[in-house]
Amino acid sequence: MNILAIESSAVAASAAVMADGVLKAEEFSQNGLTHSVTLLPMAENALKKAGLKISDIDLFAVTEGPGSFSGLRIGVTVAKTLAYGCGKNVCGVSTLRALAGNLPFADKIICPIMDARRSQVYNAMYKWEDGELKEIKAPRAISAEELASEINEPVIFVGDGVKPFREFFSEKLGNLAFFAPPNLCAAKASTLCTLVQNEAGVNPDELNPCYLRLSQAEREYNERNNGKD
- Residue 220: pLDDT band (50, 70, 90) is very low
What are the backbone dihedrals phi and psi of residue 46, each rounded to the nearest 5 degrees, phi first?
A: -65, -40
Nearest CA to 184 among 167, 155, 162, 212?
162
Distance between CA 43 and CA 6 in Å, rounded?
7
At a CB cut-off of 8 Å and minimum separation 6, what does 114 contact?
10, 66, 67, 95, 96, 99, 121, 122, 123, 159, 160, 161
What's the pLDDT tens digit per position in 159-173? Answer: 999 999 999 999 999
DSSP annotation of 21:
T
What's the pLDDT tens digit per position in 25-76? Answer: 999 998 866 899 999 999 999 999 999 999 999 999 999 999 999 999 999 9
SS3 per-residue string spanning 53-111: CHHHCCEEEEEEECCCHHHHHHHHHHHHHHHHHHCCEEEEEEHHHHHHCCCCCCCCEEE
pLDDT of the residue at 168: 98
> Taking the model in full, what pTM does it have?
0.92
pLDDT of the residue at 33: 67
Asked which of 31-40, 182-191, 208-217 is least confident by mean pLDDT, the reply is 208-217
- Residue 20: pLDDT band (50, 70, 90) is very high
> For residue 54, with 0-12 CB atoms within 10 Å meaning exposed, 13-18 middle and 19 or more buried, which class applies?
middle
- Residue 228: pLDDT band (50, 70, 90) is low
Distance between CA 128 and CA 45 in Å, rounded?
33
Distance between CA 228 and CA 43 in Å, rounded?
47
At a CB cut-off of 8 Å and minimum separation 6, what does 172 contact?
148
Mean pLDDT along residues 119-124: 96
Better pLDDT: 5 or 218: 5
Are β-strands 132-143 and 89-94 bridged in parallel, bridged antiparallel, or unpaired? unpaired
Mean pLDDT along residues 143-171: 98
Distance between CA 199 and CA 202 in Å, rounded?
9
List, in order of start, the domains of the chain with CATH numbers: 2-96+187-220 (3.30.420.40), 103-184 (3.30.420.40)
What are the backbone dihedrals phi and psi of residue 118, each rounded to the nearest 5 degrees, phi first?
A: 50, 35
Distance between CA 51 and CA 91 in Å, rounded?
22
Nearest CA to 190 among 46, 44, 37?
46
